[in-house]
Amino acid sequence: MRILPRSARLSRMARGTGSLSTMSITPTTEQRRIIEYPLEPLRVAAGAGTGKTTTIAMRLAALVREADIEPEAALGITFTNKAAEELADKLRLHLPDFAREGREVEVTTYHGFAHGIVGEFGPMVGIERDIGVIGSGYQRELLREALGAGSPELLDLTSPARRVDELAVLGARLGDHLRSPSDILALRPDDEVEAARREMAAVLERYETLKRRLGVADYSDLIRYGYEIVSEPSVGRRIRDRYRVVLLDEYQDTNPAQRELLLQLFGDGFPVTAVGDPDQTIYEWRGASLENFAAFPDHFSVAGKPAKTLALGVNRRSDRRIIDAANAIKKRIGDTQGVERLVARPDAETGTVSLAWFHAATDEAAWIAREVRRLHDSQGLRWRDMALLFRKNRTIPLLREALDALDIPVEVAALGGLLQVPEVADLHAWMRLIGHPDDAPSLVRILLGSCYRLGMGDLVPLARRGRELGATMLVAIDEEKTELPETVRSRLTQFRERYRTLVTLAQGVTLVDLARHILDATGAWAEVEALEGARRLSARLNLYRFLDLAEEWSPLEGRPSLDAFLDYLDLLRQDAASEELDTATLSGEDAVSLLTVHRAKGLEWSAVFIPAVCSGTFPSSAHGGLDDPQRYPRSLPASLRIDHVGDDTSEAALRSRHDAQEWRAAYVAVTRAKHHLVLTGAYWYTTGRAKKPSALFDAVARLDGVTVEPPVGDPGEPPEALRTGQRVPTPDPLFSEGWEAAFENAAADPGWLERLSQDAEGFAVQQRRLRLVMDELPKNPRLIPRQPKLKVSVTNLVTYATCPKRYFWTAVDPLPRRPSHAARRGIEIHRRIELHNLGTVPLTDAEGYDLVTTDRPPRGDPFAAYLSSRFAAQRPQFVEVAFELVLSPTVNVKGRIDAIYERSPGSWEIVDFKTGRRSANPAVKVQLEVYAIAAREANLATDPPRTIEVAFVYLGDGLDVVTERVDETWLGEAHEHLESLTGAILEEEFVETPSPQCQWCDFLAFCPPGRAFLRGLDTVGAGPR
């Protein structure tokens, strides 16, 4: 390529004639106009599926090459980490020479950009550089604490979960408009709504105090702090001078505070390119401002001249009939200053748009399941190429059951619907009972479940006794139950012991660890593995998704947040917060995706089904969801808002904005489909009033070429039952066909109950006889469980070997620890390796809302290193093997082995994967010592191995394998070493032991010997975390 002189290149870009010869992708005419636009403010209205990410990446790359802009002087800002990674990858593709040199365009998220400003200049406004950033889970925990610290008169505290959700909404709106609770407190209340809002503001002030005391900030704080910092002219100039061009992605989803921060830095003609689609503004409830995109030309004008607008209107995703449906919906949205209409690409196929209407929801669900299977079986679509998109969580369970009945694997990516999945519901019940001991429904679900297999008749005496005591059933279980059969007493005793263990455990572990302990203790994983085919895959995916959610709600170690977590799950289950999370991160497994429309934004599938397109559901009725400050204390008064879009708070204006938002959600839903779009509905979803086809259903039905199944002419009567499949038998062995059948049998045959009673009594007699025989059998004393004095995990044993005092602050008297990005990444990589070893495709990176990362990136991709190794090509004999090693009569060591490979019969290679680089800490060998002894003594398999190798596989910088070959001498020395360590723990020897490992210790601030040791080092490889 001929290199132009710098002056010539700048001249060409100023005229808009930059060369594109180095690009491997040939841009269209409309893309070329955007790519070659001069260095001036520009608004790009990009319709759904028009390739905006590719276009903006090409524009940035062209500016770097042709305008002589250094990569480091270009800035790209988007919403999520996933979107930022996608943009960065495309820029590397278009700028390979710079990428090879390690020089890259800075790509970040809106909150990440603000966090960087705070980290660099925070002390100027009294903010610590390393301030901790909290997510929604920890935020709600603090809000709950602040709510409980006051005595409000107008706030209804009978539903604290809902009050916390409303407080989170009001707090976010204050941040969105650069306001604080004091601004509300300064207003004189004229009515009860305003007085209630003042009480909420008082709670939010206590929340602000808690954050300051703990040294943390939420996402709204980051934007507000960033704005305060850049308002200082000298700081603003320093940041502005670093860049020569800025790109703002998904600009339609930004809030007013983010806009003001960006204007403060990059106004007055700075070459800012803002890209967005106002027709996809579906996050207004989260603070997104329609005014930001609409008024961008005026906000970012050049010498009073509005910025130019260019459009991307050629849809590269969908077939023609789907685009027709999208354009029909777009007309209902109104003028948003987006693209006028979507245009199909020249080679687009016709595609199919189908509608179907049914008598009942059960008929609708069964038909959709058959259609999904037909597309898979006859047209070759993979399961993961299809999705069901829902407007409401409550419509998910029926469809999931219908798909399950046809052996179709499903992945429930809608978190509210996830709670209805049986495996997840069981785990949720345990967590509820641990957090709320008076939760009788959860207790009944657990006792009737597969672990204890009790019947309703077994629980009647417990319920009766609870009423007599004026206490819960849980209290009644603790009493002597001589009137109950011995089998029932035994199972209740097992439950009580397990429950007490888990309650104790819950006091000192994170939510995700508690969930994992519950799954292990109840044998849930074994039950999942016993399922067949699609059902096993669905169960595993859904449990992992719940674990991901729990992990997001464990931002700080050592701080319980179970109550807040359970409250939030209740809101998800009730649809109250069904839209509070962003685009779903799908696993990539071959499974049909079930998720809400709001979580589907940015995703695409070959076939999309949208059920329950009926009146009141999609488009949704407001039902109290209007952002009306005159009726709802959670809404911010118009006088405190930066924008003026919401100034008109009349009923008509509020409903008009709500309806437009619903049509934008419909637009997002239909534009997810590539080739097949199906909308369905039914008359009957409950036994209440019959539904009608909604305005969305009718709008699509009127289009040419749409296939419409003939609707049922008359709603008729509601069906007897609104569920699919066969009747699920009750666990009660006396009434295996259900209560209705029992009543019918008793009415038809008066002697039936008596014979049933005799049968049950005869069964009990035989059972007692069998028990007497079994009592005569010899007892194996080794089966009698001992209660060891010390139960220690492998991880904590390594910690003790590294520094006894560090172990003390970790396990004996725990101190708070900072959240570790490296630890979270390690957990994620291990999870992906586990799923790969089980024969599945691993989950992609978990995506929280705009997660801010501050750690240095690793040298390499650990999972890529794993995939290129022999370990990925070979199937392990065992994966994630949990064990409890009885090291001595007083010591048990618990652990979990990543993988065991059997090279030949009886020859084991035990592997522990490490996502970092090789450790210089000699204490890590303790882990291999425990694994080797466990392989011989912990009954990991029917036949213990004859030969053993134990290995660390480091993946942080390529592949680095450290192997120990185990013989009897090695095992003997390992035994002695472990007994020495555990003996010292029992003797409570917790002395500081400084070493280079102090550099990475969370407790360095509390350890003078450690700090003194580090000061004495000539060189330090890395600073303390």
Separation of alpha carbons 38 and 510, rounded Å: 52
Task: Give domain status of residue 811, yes or no.
Answer: yes
Instruction: Map residue 274 onto helix, strand or coil.
Output: strand
Separation of alpha carbons 567 and 564, rounded Å: 5
Closest to 931 (Cα-Cα) out of 955, 958, 904, 912: 912
Return all residues near 753 (Cβ < 8 A) that are at least 6 apart. 746
Task: Give domain status of residue 411, yes or no.
Answer: no
Together in a domain, 428 and 523: yes
312, 334, 351 - which closes a domain: 312
Separation of alpha carbons 148 and 146, rounded Å: 5
Q: What is the DSSP letter of 620?
A: B
Q: What is the DSSP letter of 470?
A: T
Q: Please, are residues 724 and 398 in contact by the beta-carbon 8 Å criterion?
A: yes
Instruction: Map residue 90 onto helix, strand or coil.
Output: helix
217, 248, 278 - which closes a domain: 217
Closest to 515 (Cα-Cα) out of 827, 252, 781: 827
Separation of alpha carbons 891 and 479, rounded Å: 32
Together in a domain, 118 and 151: no
Separation of alpha carbons 1005 and 995, rounded Å: 15
Task: Give domain status of residue 25, yes or no.
Answer: yes
Task: Give domain status of residue 614, yes or no.
Answer: no
- 880: Cα separation from own chain's centroid: 22
Task: Give domain status of residue 366, yes or no.
Answer: no
Residue 794 sits in a domain whose CATH number is 3.90.320
Structure tokens at 809: 């602050």
Only one residue has tokens 């725990």, namely 814
Task: Give domain status of residue 188, yes or no.
Answer: yes
Task: Give domain status of residue 947, yes or no.
Answer: yes
Whole-angstrom distance between the N-terminal and C-terminal Cα of the chain? 46
Q: Please, are residues 605 and 376 in contact by the beta-carbon 8 Å criterion?
A: no
Q: Please, are residues 816 and 556 in contact by the beta-carbon 8 Å criterion?
A: yes
Separation of alpha carbons 191 and 114, rounded Å: 37
Together in a domain, 735 and 854: no
CB-count burial class (<10 Å; 0-12, 13-18, 19+) for 904: exposed
User: How many separate domains does the chain show?
Assistant: 5
Closest to 724 (Cα-Cα) out of 263, 362, 342, 321: 362
CA-to-CA dists, residue 105 to 87, 237, 794, angstroms? 10, 20, 43
CA dihedral 537, 540, 542, 547 (to 10 degrees): -160
Separation of alpha carbons 701 and 692, rounded Å: 14
Together in a domain, 157 and 279: no
Together in a domain, 152 and 107: no
Structure tokens at 330: 């777009």
Residue 241 sits in a domain whose CATH number is 3.40.50.300
Residue 447 sits in a domain whose CATH number is 1.10.486.10
- Region of 60 (left: φ > 0; alpha: ψ -120 to 50; beta: rest) is alpha
Q: What is the pTM of this model?
A: 0.65
743, 777, 811 - which closes a domain: 777
Half-sphere exposure of 72 (CA within 13 A, CB side): 6
Together in a domain, 843 and 963: yes
Span 242-282, pLDDT tens digits: 999 999 999 999 999 999 999 999 999 999 999 999 998 88
Span 411-426, pLDDT tens digits: 888 766 777 788 888 9
Q: Please, are residues 673 and 605 in contact by the beta-carbon 8 Å criterion?
A: yes
Task: Give domain status of residue 296, yes or no.
Answer: yes
Separation of alpha carbons 501 and 434, rounded Å: 10
Q: Please, are residues 812 and 799 in contact by the beta-carbon 8 Å criterion?
A: no
pLDDT at 732: 52
pLDDT at 578: 41
Together in a domain, 808 and 915: yes
pLDDT at 182: 96
Together in a domain, 115 and 255: yes
CA-to-CA dists, residue 208 to 145, 163, 211, 213, angstroms? 12, 17, 5, 9
Structure tokens at 827: 């957990």
CA dihedral 579, 573, 417, 428 (to 10 degrees): 130
Together in a domain, 896 and 936: yes
pLDDT at 358: 94
For 793-840, give the secondary structure using H, E and C: EHHHHHHHHHCHHHHHHHHHCCCCECCCHHHHHHHHHHHHHHHHHCCC
SS3 content of the chain, % helix, strand, coil (to 5): 50, 15, 35
Together in a domain, 101 and 239: yes
- 224: Cα separation from own chain's centroid: 26
Separation of alpha carbons 604 and 387, rounded Å: 9
Together in a domain, 844 and 754: no
Together in a domain, 48 and 171: no
CA-to-CA dists, residue 228 to 233, 257, 468, angstroms? 11, 11, 62
AA identity, residue 644: H
Closest to 917 (Cα-Cα) out of 795, 1000, 988: 1000
- Domain, as residue range, for 823: 790-991
Separation of alpha carbons 598 and 575, rounded Å: 13
Only one residue has tokens 């065992």, namely 878
pLDDT at 776: 47
Only one residue has tokens 């050629």, namely 314
Q: Tell me which residues of the chain have a pLDDT lower than 50.
A: 1-23, 555-560, 575-581, 723-731, 776, 778-786, 840-857, 1018-1025
Helices (H) and strands (E) in the chain, counts: 41, 23
Question: Could you give the angle at which helices 562-573 and 422-435 cross, rounded to 10 degrees?
Answer: 140
